[in-house]
Amino acid sequence: MALRDLLIGLALVWLIAKVAGEAMERTGQTAVLGELLAGVAIGPGVLGLVHDSHGLHVLAELGVLILLFEVGLESNLGDLLRAGLQATLVAIAGVVVPFVAGYGFMSALGYPPLVAVFIGATMTATSVGVTARVLTDLGRLQDRASRVILGAAVVDDILGLVILAVVTGIATTGGVSLASAALLSVKAVGFLALAIAVGVWLAPVLIRWAGGMRARGTLIVYSLVFAVGLAAVSDMMGLATIVGAFAAGLVLATTERREHIERQIKPVADLLVPVFFVTVGMKVQPALLNPFAEHAYFGLTLALTGLAVVSKLVAGLTVYQRGVRRWAVGVGMVPRGEVGLIFAGAGLAVGVIAEDLYSALVAVVMLTTFVAPPWLKALWRADATARPAPAADPPPSG
């Protein structure tokens, strides 16, 4: 019975994801926007056709891992390291500016400092899934702006560790141990550097070993053992699982079987990635955005959303490298994700953040997610129009 529900849910999710994605592509948008909206439509908040079961959740989580693994496979480790300083600067600005904006705004409204701290923290964390998907759909992963965005997303996740330690400290003990937060981030950076260094050295050996196997499908299975294993280790280090999957992709991209792995992972991604975006859409409760509902923080939601967008755009202005689309970097960092909600959730758990305010924050996170895909698409289209030939595929120097 549970299996049947999952099969029906999966068939519906796939069908509507493809139909809505196709409709969006034909009207000049990206498929991911269609998948997000399709999720809103079939989710419990609107039609209630599909419920977010544990089975769908498992497939969605694997989907976003495989998306970031694929993005890693299509990225170049050297390019990413060269973008490192720029990406770090963008990430730091992308944490500081939204935090100050959120904290200052809430303080100005007369909220107590503790509430303002949690709201500020919620505004900081970028969710790279949506942007990575849009860049993949647009075929723009090789752009220099994409490297800065991806690099900044990794740094952002490490900064998120520090913020989580700080807000959890405030929430539980009322104090902050900056030393332990710093230690955490040093461990995280060390782990990433080590994983990539050892991986780059070990991967060719493993790939050659897998090549000598007789059983079918050895290469793709070993590649995903690596990706899923590194994701689990990331999680143990307190980092997001997608950071590990991205690192695994980066490492395997340095091997001679890169294209082979890419070709084999593609149909797997085609099946699982849309499940992630549809279930993200399913979590949206449109009722939260109803301005006529009781206790609706409608004005506050819109104001915080505006701040969330503007503050990441400002962070994008710290781009100093020539030839990097700074607006694209800013817009690419606009989508917030569940990490921000974890910060807010810590506040909810200790009673600093009220239920209504938490709901408003959920709405802010959701709205930022829907802003990025059409905006990024428009930016690259405007660019293609400004520089006529070749319109579909401008030179990588752009």
Q: Using CA of residue 190, residue 196, residue 201, residue 203, what is the dihedral sign?
A: positive
Kindly identify the residues of this chain, within the stretch 225-254, that bind a copy of itself according to CB under 8 A. Answer: 225, 228-229, 231-232, 235-236, 241
Q: Does 51 bind a copy of itself (CB under 8 A)?
A: no
Packed helices 338-349 and 144-173: angle between N→C axes, nearest 10 degrees: 10
Q: Cβ 130 to a copy of itself, closest distance in Å? A: 16
Q: Cβ 341 to a copy of itself, closest distance in Å? A: 16
Q: Pick between residue 164 and residue 307 the one whose CB is nearest to a copy of itself.
A: 164
User: Could you tell me the CA-to-CA distances from 254 to 29, 132, 203, 309 in Å, in that order?
Assistant: 32, 20, 8, 35
Q: Cβ 289 to a copy of itself, closest distance in Å? A: 28
Q: Cβ 243 to a copy of itself, closest distance in Å? A: 13
Residue 292: partners with Cβ closer than 8 Å, 6 or more residues away: none
Q: Percentages helix, strand, coil for the chain, rounded to the nearest 5?
A: 75, 0, 25
Number of residues binding to a copy of itself, judged by CB under 8 A: 50
Whether 118 and 344 have beta carbons less than 8 Å apart is answered as yes
Q: Does 287 bind a copy of itself (CB under 8 A)?
A: no
Whether 52 and 282 have beta carbons less than 8 Å apart is answered as yes
Q: Does 160 bind a copy of itself (CB under 8 A)?
A: no
Position 222, amino acid: Y
User: Could you tell me the CA-to-CA distances from 326 to 6, 79, 255, 345, 381 in Å, in that order?
Assistant: 43, 17, 31, 32, 15
Q: Cβ 314 to a copy of itself, closest distance in Å? A: 34
Overall size of the chain counted in residues: 398
Kindly identify the residues of this chain, within the stretch 119-158, that bind a copy of itself according to CB under 8 A. Answer: 137
Contact pick of 48, 182, 202, 270 for a copy of itself (by CB under 8 A): 270
Contact pick of 167, 269, 309, 333 for a copy of itself (by CB under 8 A): 269
Q: Pick between residue 116 and residue 269 the one whose CB is nearest to a copy of itself.
A: 269
Q: Pick between residue 14 and residue 327 the one whose CB is nearest to a copy of itself.
A: 14
Q: Cβ 210 to a copy of itself, closest distance in Å? A: 9
Residue 207: exposure state from Cβ atoms within 10 A (0-12, 13-18, ≥19): buried
Contact pick of 220, 303, 317, 354 for a copy of itself (by CB under 8 A): 220
Q: Cβ 245 to a copy of itself, closest distance in Å? A: 9
Position 265, amino acid: I
**How many other C-beta atoms can be found within 10 angstroms of the C-beta atom of residue 397?**
8
Q: Pick between residue 14 and residue 298 the one whose CB is nearest to a copy of itself.
A: 14
The encoded tokens of residue 74 equal 């299509």
Kindly identify the residues of this chain, within the stretch 52-111, that bind a copy of itself according to CB under 8 A. Answer: 54-55, 58-59, 61, 65
Backbone angles phi, psi at 126, to 5 degrees: -80, 140
Q: Does 18 bind a copy of itself (CB under 8 A)?
A: yes
| Sites of contact with a copy of itself (CB under 8 A) | 3-4, 6-8, 10-11, 14-15, 17-18, 21-22, 25-26, 31, 54-55, 58-59, 61, 65, 137, 213-218, 220-222, 224-225, 228-229, 231-232, 235-236, 241, 264-271, 274
